């Protein structure tokens, strides 16, 4: 696996490989099995696998954890290589946002709900960096985790609206044995906080059962999830809501445990809504 740091280097590395398909896995690092499942999916379907490793400052609010975000490039490079990544694009902030940078991508409606409402500007940063990565790498396919369902919806909308010509592939959420979705931010949790955080996975599972018992009843599903969360006083709830993103309906939740903010979702329905 090669590590490259500039737009010029990544393009030069890919130039001789354009005869085959290129898969891109955008990441912020601190790899866990969720990331590795994206790498493996890309490896299985593409001739060349590129992972980007970039903690993107523009998707963090000033009050958030950009400075503290876990970074370990050497460990990540080992895991990426073992998972079949061919090229790791790890640019500096200056490479992605050179002096004078002033162009941003706004996915208007989607970015106002749920995560967008709680993290104003977050999806503008996500959409902008994803479009830059697509323009740098020109992948045939880009792999994203269902764990960040709204991010998937934002990227799909951006790809459609701006004719990007990338196939967005969505990979299921990887969880630990307690149902806690794997996340780089789980590294912030103490053992006790990990137990508390597992309530989010339980709440979403309970909400999904309520949805299966009363299909289409968004209020019942979200109330069931909120009741499970309310039983755990050591967390606070940002939201637990049913949301429809294009052709997918999810029950999505965001909680805070101590100083750590975690998100998760379960898919309730895929395809057209009931008539
Ligand atoms: P991040 O490094 O957190 O920005 O995540 C990079 C990619 O990995 C995103 O597409 C995430 O949705 C995906 N991802 C993160 N956690 C998981 C997980 N537990 N299961 C599946 N995909 C994940």
Coil, helix or strand at residue 209: helix
Mean pLDDT, rounded, for 194-199: 98
- Residue of the nearest CA to atom 17 in ligand 1? 34
pLDDT band at residue 124 using 50, 70 and 90 as cut-offs = very high
Per-residue pLDDT at 232: 98
Region of poorest pLDDT, from 25-29, 158-162, 235-239, 270-274: 270-274
Per-residue pLDDT at 56: 98
Per-residue pLDDT at 271: 78
Q: Residue 160 contacts by C-beta under 8 Å, 6 or more apart in sequence?
A: none
35 is catalytic: yes
Mean pLDDT of the chain: 97
Q: Dihedral sign, CA of 74, 77, 82, 83?
A: positive
Does the CB atom of residue 182 touch ligand 1 within 6 A?
yes
Mean pLDDT, rounded, for 37-51: 98
- Please state the atom number of ligand 1 nearest to the C-alpha of residue 172: 21
Q: Residue 77 contacts by C-beta under 8 Å, 6 or more apart in sequence?
A: 1, 3, 88
Could you give the domains of the chain? Answer: 2-171 (3.40.50.620), 184-270 (3.30.1300.10)
pLDDT at residue 273 above 80? no
Cβ atoms < 10 Å from Cβ of 218: 18
Q: Residue 189 contacts by C-beta under 8 Å, 6 or more apart in sequence?
A: 197, 257, 258, 260
Angle, CA of 83, 47 and 140, to the nearest 5°: 105
Per-residue pLDDT at 76: 98
Per-residue pLDDT at 64: 96
Residue 168: beta bridge partners? 142
Does the CB atom of residue 132 touch ligand 1 within 6 A?
no
pLDDT band at residue 246 using 50, 70 and 90 as cut-offs = confident
Side-by-side strand order, sheet with 48-53: 2-4, 87-89, 48-53, 22-27, 141-145, 167-171
Does the CB atom of residue 203 touch ligand 1 within 6 A?
no
Mean pLDDT, rounded, for 58-68: 96
Q: Give per-residue pLDDT as tens, 166-191.
A: 999 999 999 999 999 999 999 999 99
pLDDT at residue 274 above 60? no
């Amino acid at each position: 696996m090669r590590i490259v740091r500039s737009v010029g280097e990544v393009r030069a590395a890919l130039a001789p490989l354009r005869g085959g398909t290129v898969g891109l896995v955008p990441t912020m690092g601190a790899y866990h099995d969720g990331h590795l499942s994206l790498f493996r999916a890309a490896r299985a379907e593409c001739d060349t696998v590129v992972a980007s490793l970039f903690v993107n400052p523009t998707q963090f609010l000033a009050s958030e954890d950009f400075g503290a975000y876990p970074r370990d490039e050497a460990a990540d490079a080992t895991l990426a290589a073992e998972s079949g990544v061919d090229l790791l694009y790890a640019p500096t902030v200056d490479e992605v946002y050179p002096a004078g940078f002033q162009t941003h991508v706004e996915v208007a409606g989607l970015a106002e709900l749920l995560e967008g409402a709680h993290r104003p500007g977050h999806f503008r940063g996500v959409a902008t960096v994803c479009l830059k990565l697509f323009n740098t790498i020109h992948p045939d396919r880009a792999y994203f985790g269902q764990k960040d369902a709204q991010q998937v919806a934002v990227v799909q909308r951006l790809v459609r609206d701006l004719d990007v010509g990338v196939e967005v592939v969505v990979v299921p959420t990887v969880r630990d044995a307690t149902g806690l979705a794997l996340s780089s931010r789980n590294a912030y949790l103490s053992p006790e906080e990990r137990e508390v955080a597992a309530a989010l996975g339980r709440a979403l599972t309970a909400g999904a059962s309520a949805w299966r018992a009363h299909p289409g009843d968004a209020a019942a599903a979200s109330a069931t999830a909120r009741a499970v969360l309310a039983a755990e006083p050591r967390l606070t709830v940002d939201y637990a809501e049913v949301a429809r993103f294009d052709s997918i309906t999810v029950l999505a939740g965001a909680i805070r445990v101590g100083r750590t903010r975690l998100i998760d979702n379960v898919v309730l329905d895929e395809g057209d809504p009931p008539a």
